[in-house]
Homo-oligomer: A and B are copies of this chain.
């Protein structure tokens, strides 16, 4: 089945702001009218990093939020490509291909839990904004990070009204001393109609295990945004395969860029995903 790329388009945008949030987190605002007009929750853009041939490939980034003709991206400089992005100045051009990817399934009622680990915060502002538009008000964000400085600021998860954000830090410098996972079980009490998760693979894996172990009935919508190195971002190179459960539980491959990045956590082969090597940043 061919992916629907009808909204995707190349776009030469302009960097407006690159804000340092602390802890290495950056929030970049760029004028990208097409992307801003067409991105949906969970969409990503393939951003060109630099103009040379090293790094060669574009890099995928979630559309964190849109406002008029601008888009926000939240990232950190982990390797060559993100380092180049972090050095961009206002007025610099930004080459985007997007929106791409299969996004989050929307709900129109009930309570929603968003589980964010580290830079997994990125897709949530756009998601929460859309949920609010659909009159879903009972939204709880569980936001975890290594340390306080790396917690995406609560007030940025949704504007103007800040949602309820429960924070956790590995080093206890803010909120719960430990992992977001610890906050999860309690959150399930509200019998959420949807749980959305984004973060490092080990965290996503832990979320799924915790849900199953808790014995609680799984939320009808249970989705995670996953990552894979991407060659093209539009379903052509077949390079971004991720293991999902096929018929009879055998592991088959689905494409992160078009079948995902958002996938039903029920379908993902978590053992397979956990076995993948972490991104080897250079």
A53 contacts chain B at the CB level, 8 A cutoff? yes
Give the docked Cα–Cα distance between A54 and B56 (Å): 12
A33-60 vs B, Cβ < 8 Å mask (1 yes, 0 no): 0000000000000000000111000000
Q: A177-215: which residues lie under 8 A (CB-CB) from chain B?
A: none
Of chain B, the residue at the smallest CB distance from A53 is: B54
Give the docked Cα–Cα distance between A54 and B54 (Å): 8
Q: Output the least CB separation between A53 and chain B (Å).
A: 6
> How many positions in chain A have a CB within 8 Å of any CB in the partner chain?
3
Give the docked Cα–Cα distance between A53 and B53 (Å): 10
Give the docked Cα–Cα distance between A223 and B53 (Å): 41
Give the docked Cα–Cα distance between A52 and B52 (Å): 10
Give the docked Cα–Cα distance between A52 and B84 (Å): 12
Give the docked Cα–Cα distance between A52 and B83 (Å): 13
Of chain B, the residue at the smallest CB distance from A55 is: B52
Give the docked Cα–Cα distance between A172 and B43 (Å): 60
Give the docked Cα–Cα distance between A198 and B52 (Å): 33
Q: Output the least CB separation between A277 and chain B (Å).
A: 24
Residues of chain B lying within 8 A (CB to CB) of residue A53:
54
Of chain B, the residue at the smallest CB distance from A52 is: B54
Q: Output the least CB separation between A49 and chain B (Å).
A: 12
Q: Output the least CB separation between A255 and chain B (Å).
A: 31
Q: Output the least CB separation between A93 and chain B (Å).
A: 14
Q: Output the least CB separation between A77 and chain B (Å).
A: 15
Give the docked Cα–Cα distance between A54 and B53 (Å): 8
Residues of chain B lying within 8 A (CB to CB) of residue A52:
52, 54
Residues of chain B lying within 8 A (CB to CB) of residue A54:
52-54
Of chain B, the residue at the smallest CB distance from A50 is: B52
Q: A68-125: which residues lie under 8 A (CB-CB) from chain B?
A: none
Q: Output the least CB separation between A83 and chain B (Å).
A: 11
Give the docked Cα–Cα distance between A54 and B52 (Å): 8
A10-34 vs B, Cβ < 8 Å mask (1 yes, 0 no): 0000000000000000000000000
Q: A254-280: which residues lie under 8 A (CB-CB) from chain B?
A: none
4 A-B pairs with CB atoms under 8 Å apart are A52-B52, A52-B54, A53-B54, A54-B54
A residues adjacent to B (C-beta < 8 A): 52-54
The 4 closest A-B pairs by CB, nearest first: A52-B54, A54-B54, A53-B54, A52-B52
